[in-house]
Amino acid sequence: MHLYSGPLSLFARKVEVALAEKGLGFTRTMVPFTQTKGYSPKHEAVLAANPKGQVPVLVDGDLTLYDSTVILEYLEDAYPEPALYPTSAAARGRCRLLELEADEVLLVPVRKLMFRTEPPGPDAARRAQQEREASEAEAVIGRHLRELDRRLEGREFLCGGFTVADIATFMIVHYAVRLGGPPIARLGNLSRWYYQLAERPAFAAAISEIAAADRALSHPVRLPAQ
């Protein structure tokens, strides 16, 4: 299998973690990314494979797929062991919804913090406006994190065993933390879950590569005390 990934793409990291958790080998192309130009100019193979021009793109033999959720579902169908989804229809539905909440709901306010890794431009008023919007977004993120903390009360994972819901939620929580979002230390259930996942080799590798990419590419973010 071959994966088109990005150094700071949380969606591509979801796929990398799923591949590693399933013990599947793959080769990888890291598409170019900078904090000033983003993914522009886009990688030709990604443009050819994905009308949205986004990573991740996975090639498995003569099959080419894009979108992390579609890719994770394919991996489960094609390589079922170890399973990354629960077995019952209801539990699978809940698990998919939690993945969607991470990828599409919590992403919205987390996006508002992403300017912090860009080099500060000369326009101080714009930066101040971005910081005001970021603090509104942080309030939304804080509420979402407290809800996750409640959901994890008495639970090791978000839906039964370890699933794609944990992978997607971990990635967006990790991005919120890395972008200077609300600290998770006082949320006992959430931080226990987060640090346990961070020790799994697939997650540890992703965290370490994201940190290396930040050192190489990103403006340093001042993180609040945890």
From 39, 74, 79, 157, residue interacting with ligand GSH (rule: CB under 6 A): 39
* Shortest distance, position 8 Cβ to ligand GSH, whole Å: 7
From 29, 34, 69, 189, residue interacting with ligand GSH (rule: CB under 6 A): 69
Query: Can residue 182 be called a binding residue for ligand GSH (CB under 6 A)?
Result: no
Query: Can residue 7 be called a binding residue for ligand GSH (CB under 6 A)?
Result: no
Query: Can residue 6 be called a binding residue for ligand GSH (CB under 6 A)?
Result: yes
Query: Can residue 10 be called a binding residue for ligand GSH (CB under 6 A)?
Result: yes
From 5, 68, 163, 169, residue interacting with ligand GSH (rule: CB under 6 A): 68
* Shortest distance, position 2 Cβ to ligand GSH, whole Å: 16
Q: Which is nearer to ligand GSH, 99 or 149 (CB)?
A: 99
Handedness of CA 128, 183, 207, 9 (dihedral sign): negative
Bridge partners (DSSP) listed for residue 38: 34
Q: What is the DSSP string of the chain?
A: -EEEE-TT-HHHHHHHHHHHHTT---EEEE---BTTTBTPSPPHHHHHH-TT--S-EEEETTEEEESHHHHHHHHHHHS-SS-SS-SSHHHHHHHHHHHHIIIIIIHHHHHTTGGGGSPP-S-HHHHHHHHHHHHHHHHHHHHHHHHHHHHTTT-SSSBSBS-HHHHHHHHHHHHHHHTT----TT-HHHHHHHHHHHTSHHHHHHHHHHHHHHHHHSPPP-PPP-
From 26, 35, 53, 189, residue interacting with ligand GSH (rule: CB under 6 A): 53
* Shortest distance, position 101 Cβ to ligand GSH, whole Å: 13
Query: Can residue 11 be called a binding residue for ligand GSH (CB under 6 A)?
Result: yes
Query: Can residue 86 be called a binding residue for ligand GSH (CB under 6 A)?
Result: no
Q: Find the part of the chain contacting ligand GSH (CB under 6 A) among 21-29, 64-72, 133-141, 208-216.
A: 64-72
Query: Can residue 54 be called a binding residue for ligand GSH (CB under 6 A)?
Result: yes
Amino acid present at 181: G
Contact residues: ligand GSH, CB under 6 A = 6, 9-11, 39, 53-56, 67-69, 103
